[in-house]
Structure 1
């Protein structure tokens, strides 16, 4: 069986412009297969989703596994497998499946199709969800280590998990990440509602709130038709979501120390993302112990990189990091 480094090397030249564009023609040529699975965290049932090129076959060569971790306000499929009619490709799962990855994601507790409980589904709970999902992914793919990509509070979940279970994590992408929250206009505004987050395990997440994700930093970095498609997909699960990640991000940061994250790390952010200041992220980046690390800022982009007009730059930077050839030791 090939190791993660060998698989990355094999994929290093795969990111062609046509594959990254992933338009309708590419969709017809490459049949993306998908399936749904379940993991258990005690009595909590967690819904997992998988996409890759072709149905899995016994004895086939292993593929690198990419696990996507959603944020505070939207569940897994609307976040990473969204269809926006007439607007091109917005499914991160489809894009990376076509690039040769075995792509997974999951609804965290109290999101999407996963169990509804009394928990507020904070960052620590999300890291426990990832730990519960890992054996299912390993069983189905034969892989022991996976790449992880988390966005916003999903990046915090992924970083906490990477610190807790380094043996499970190959390479780690932190998109729209925040560290201490210092200098963040988004978190300063959110903190005004801190008493509400402490008083209730649920908050309202309606269409207006989903639209605000696309407008709060710099309107015009995304097509608002995407916001409407996202709201249509997400509101099927109701207009109430957990407060735990908001509470953590306004009252309990930092939830992870960079020295505890041993994996290679890509920190990627939009130039106009208000969730974290550049200085705060640079502080985290400078303290990471692994020399295999990258910091990327994308211009003309804000918080939701995967939904932006320049999302192809996000795909490119992410794939280039994941498919990095292994270093030769000095």
Structure 2
């Protein structure tokens, strides 16, 4: 089992920045355009991943200041004092990073559970978010594929790296795109000391918000919003994406399906999904489905 310090020594890069915000030791990056008038995008990753999952998006936002961070308990960020991490905790950490960097107005994108964090922040801080990109995010806990299944006897636990391999393969439409580097990186990050039980309790977070609460929050969104969904999303099928899209408030919204992709879209189809997000950020009207 790895310590946070060991993982930081192994995976931090020259782009890595560290700060303690809301009492949390946070890992983030702040790169790209430095002109004070340059547009800004903030990226929020999904569960079990880290900020590096958005690496393929960087070329699509070459003219932007790009801010990414590891969410509570994931990647190289600490996990807080207790096992329960709420969406309010997640939103508070994102708000603290925005304040720490002095960001005034920006494009915000979030994937999977990170999409709900992004949606909550955007609903509560519409003056900050110029455009919003939500990717494969859960409208309700019961819509998540494994969440609705009857409980079965737990199988013998796999070693963390093999458990991560299984998770990645299940969330890619093309399992051959899962690399050993991905398996090793995210497997080692999963095999991290967990003194507060926050990592072990990560699945519980999805159940903390009911579907009615999520739909109400989505209805408060007023900025231009793109809902991007994967055609071969086994975790949250396209029909759930359509329901989430219907809940989004405001008239300026778009729903786009990415062909040939699974749930972990920025990781599996990073270049394509980044290009689609970039086109939306530039104000383009997108087709209903996009493929490579």
TM-score by structure 2 length?
A: 0.77
Does residue 213 of the first structure (1) align with residue 187 of the second (2)?
Answer: no
2:164–2:187 CA contact under 8 A, matched in 1: no
Q: Give the aligned partner of residue 324 of structure 1.
A: 283
Indicate the residue corresponding to 1:298 in structure 2: 258
Counterparts of residues 189-268 of structure 1 (less than 5 Å):
189=149, 192=151, 206-216=160-170, 220=174, 223-225=177-179, 228-237=180-189, 239-240=191-192, 242-243=199-200, 245-250=202-207, 252-254=209-211, 255-256=213-214, 257=216, 258-268=218-228
Q: Is the Cα–Cα contact under 8 Å of residues 229 and 241 in structure 2 kept in the other structure?
A: no
Distance in structure 1 (CA, Å) of the matches to 2:72 and 2:126: 22
Say yes or no: does 1:122 pair with 2:113.
no
Q: Give the structure 1 partner of residue 25 of structure 2.
A: 45
Deviation for aligned residue 1:47: 2.1
Q: 1:1-330, aligned counterparts within 5 Å?
A: 34=15, 36-41=17-22, 43-53=23-33, 56=34, 60=35, 62-77=37-52, 79-81=53-55, 91-92=56-57, 94-98=58-62, 100-120=63-83, 121-138=85-102, 143-189=103-149, 192=151, 206-216=160-170, 220=174, 223-225=177-179, 228-237=180-189, 239-240=191-192, 242-243=199-200, 245-250=202-207, 252-254=209-211, 255-256=213-214, 257=216, 258-308=218-268, 310-324=269-283
> Would you identify which runs of 4 or more consecutive aligned residues in structure 1 move more than 4 Å?
none
Q: Which piece of structure 1 moves more, 248-257 or 120-129?
A: 248-257
State how many pairs are aligned.
Answer: 260
Post-superposition offset of 1:293: 0.8
RMSD: 3.0
| Conserved 8 A contact 1:153-1:245 | no
Q: Which moved more, 1:316-325 or 1:277-286?
A: 277-286
Give the deviation of 1:204 after TM superposition. 8.8
Q: Deviations over 1:177-210 (max 9, x none)?
A: 1102454424335x748x9xxxxxxx99822232
Q: Given the two structures, how large is their TM-score scaled by the length of structure 1?
A: 0.69
In structure 2, do the counterparts of structure 1 residues 219 and 207 end up closer, same or farther at CA, with 3 Å as the change threshold? farther
Q: Deviations over 1:143-194 (max 9, x none)?
A: 41111111111111111111222222121111111102454424335x748x
Once the two structures are overlaid, the 10-residue window that deviates more, 268-277 or 105-114, is: 105-114
